[in-house]
Amino acid sequence: MKSSAVIPFFRAYVKSMRLYYSFITGLAGLVGVTYYQYVAHAPGRIALSEVLRSVERPTPPLQMALILVILFLAWGINQIVNDWLGLEEDRINAPARPMVTGELHPGLALLLSAVLMTGAGAVAWFFLEPLSVVALVAGVALNVVYEYAKGHGIWGNVVFGVMISCCAAFGFMASGPSEASILTTARTSMLGFVALINGVMTFYTYFKDYEGDKAAGKQTLVVRYGLQRSRYASLFAAFLPSVVFVAGYAAFDAWPIALNGVFLLLAALTVLLQVWTGWLYFRNPRGDVTYYALSFNFRACACAEAALIALFNPTLGILLFFLTYMLVAFLFNFHVNRHG
């Protein structure tokens, strides 16, 4: 690559990373990190908090910083692969994206992403916890699977949700040693709920991609059931995470962790964001608004993850909630072109 082309290449690469998404993977991973710290500081099994500390220990600052860098860059690096696999529909849905316009060379971009992901794996193996590489590799693999699964109805949402939950698993596993055999109800519920809120989030993104997905033969939920039925489903989806959480907590003891006041406040604010997102897509299932509504959609998802963090660290949770709300909107404004 000529030196004169280096800066434009990296500019196009960073644009393709769509950094507002970094809060989705970053906060999902922080759910796992803060849960690990919660366990590491626990004196043993605590009433109302299914916590059993075995070999867990607080994560050193340098190790924590490495985890956060990997988590917040993970989506953007993998997004290059996603853009390459989705070029056909992006020519309709997002014709201004750098890889579609030719501004970003696909081969070089994929090579850079491969180098960065290999570097992240090496850091996890040698400086964090080797077992965490499993979650990292699973997330990368599911990103590839997702591009094909999204063409088969709800499977796209399921795969996407599980892919993001791998970030929470990575955050927990990379934070320090743990008994792999101890798979508690709280841990599985945490991963499942992260998968659910991200599966719902990606459902809303299908509205803006309706025309391109339909032309490319991608049978997403919105394409399969049409815009009119899907707009009603958007209202149902807005309440789904709350209903599942309350039912799991009250009826199935899926969350054996005591709910604190900060969590309840953030949860209430998150419900408002989720309902507003559903209303936006109900009122405008197509057109420019479906793109600009993504700002609320992403914030609703990331803020829900911040609320989960408040279960384990209320101070950090409330700080991340409001920072996320502001910064996602700020970064999204750099992509105000709905065709990008």
Q: In this predicted model, what pLDDT tens digit does every residue of 151-191 receive, in sequence order?
A: 888 999 999 999 999 999 999 999 988 875 556 777 888 89
pLDDT at 151: 83
pLDDT at 47: 40
DSSP for 55-117?
S--PPPHHHHHHHHHHHHHHHHHHHHHHHHHTHHHHHHH-TTSHHHHTSS-HHHHHHHHHHHH
**What's the token pair of residue 176?**
């320090």
- Is residue 41 exposed (0-12), middle (13-18) or buried (19+ Cβ within 10 Å)? middle
DSSP conformation class of 333: G
pLDDT at 260: 92
What is the number of other CB atoms lying within 10 angstroms of the CB of residue 277?
25
**What's the token pair of residue 86?**
């989705």
Per-run averaged pLDDT (10 residues), the chain, 340 residues = 72 82 90 90 54 72 92 84 80 81 86 90 92 92 88 91 94 84 74 94 92 85 92 94 89 78 95 95 88 91 95 95 91 63
* Three-class DSSP labels, 145-195: HHHHHCCECHHHHHHHHHHHHHHHHHHHHHCCCCCCCCCCHHHHHHHHHHH
DSSP for 185-240?
HHHHHHHHHHHHHHHHHHHHHHHHTHHHHHHTT-B-HHHHHHHHHHHHHHHHHHHH
**What's the token pair of residue 174?**
């990379």
What is the C-alpha R_g of the chain?
20
pLDDT at 331: 82
- SS percent in the chain: helix, strand, coil, step 5: 75, 0, 20
DSSP conformation class of 258: P
pLDDT at 336: 55
Name every residue whose Cβ is closer than 8 Å to that of residue 292 and which is 6 or more positions away in sequence: 336, 338
pLDDT at 48: 41
Please state, in angstroms and rounded to a whole number, the distance separating the CA atoms of residues 103 and 338.
18
Name every residue whose Cβ is closer than 8 Å to that of residue 253 and which is 6 or more positions away in sequence: 185
Of residues 81, 60, 64, 61, the one with CA closest to residue 72: 64
> Is residue 338 within 8 Å of 292, Cβ to Cβ?
yes
pLDDT at 53: 54
Please state, in angstroms and rounded to a whole number, the distance separating the CA atoms of residues 100 and 96.
7
> Is residue 165 within 8 Å of 192, Cβ to Cβ?
yes
